[in-house]
Amino acid sequence: MQMGKLAQMYKDTLGFNVLIPDARGHGRSEGHYIGFGWPERKDYVQWIDKVIEHMGEQSKIVLHGVSMGGATVMMTSGEALPPNVKAIVEDCGYTTAKDQLAYQLKRMYRLPIFPLLHLTSLLTKLRAGYFFGEASALDQLQKSKTPMLFIHGDADLFVPTDSDQVRYDREVAQFIRTYVKE
């Protein structure tokens, strides 16, 4: 529902076919937990395969994600994507699930990072199969070969641009340099 305006722009203005599945644990999607983009990146790869299967090998695909969806498309970018994925639009995604959750513990709840983040990361490993530190858009960007548009404003209070900005800028610059060379 939240992507409705963007979907309308892609369809009505640009003439694209649009697929907007709910991520795990969102909307009407199955799932008992929100994976912060890490398990969802594999779901996106499966959706990409389904689109190609349904629409044909000539399909040209653009991934677009906002906030957690932005982090998810960055995480997806590091997977082995078919050449049909022509571009990715990342809008205000976070660097890692660990960084984002640590920021929110302090900002929203004024709670200490230790031991809460470590305990919930362990619980996530037991229930969902990964630690928060594994869910890294930065690590996935290093493996990406797909052109990407990064959008993020400094007025964003939910996903800060300054908490990891230097590291993020360095990783994005490396991604751009690598992509431009190829």
CATH assignment at residue 99: 3.40.50.1820
How does DSSP classify residue 112?
-
Q: Count structural domains, the chain.
A: 1
CA distance 37 to 43: 10
Mean pLDDT confidence for 132-141: 94
Give the residue from 4, 81, 8, 16 showing the smallest Cα distance to 44.
81
CA distance 80 to 59: 17
The residue ranking higher by pLDDT, 169 or 123, is 123
Q: Which domain holds residue 125?
A: 4-181
Would you state the pLDDT for residue 167? 54
Report CA 164 to chain centroid distance, whole Å. 16
Would you state the pLDDT for residue 162? 63
Q: How confident is the model at residue 160 (pLDDT cuts 50, 70, 90)?
A: confident
Q: Is 15 helix (H, G, I), strand (E, B) or coil?
A: coil
Q: Which two tokens stand for residue 32?
A: 């008992």
DSSP bridge partners of 87:
62
pTM as predicted: 0.88
pLDDT of residue 119 exceeding 80, the answer is yes
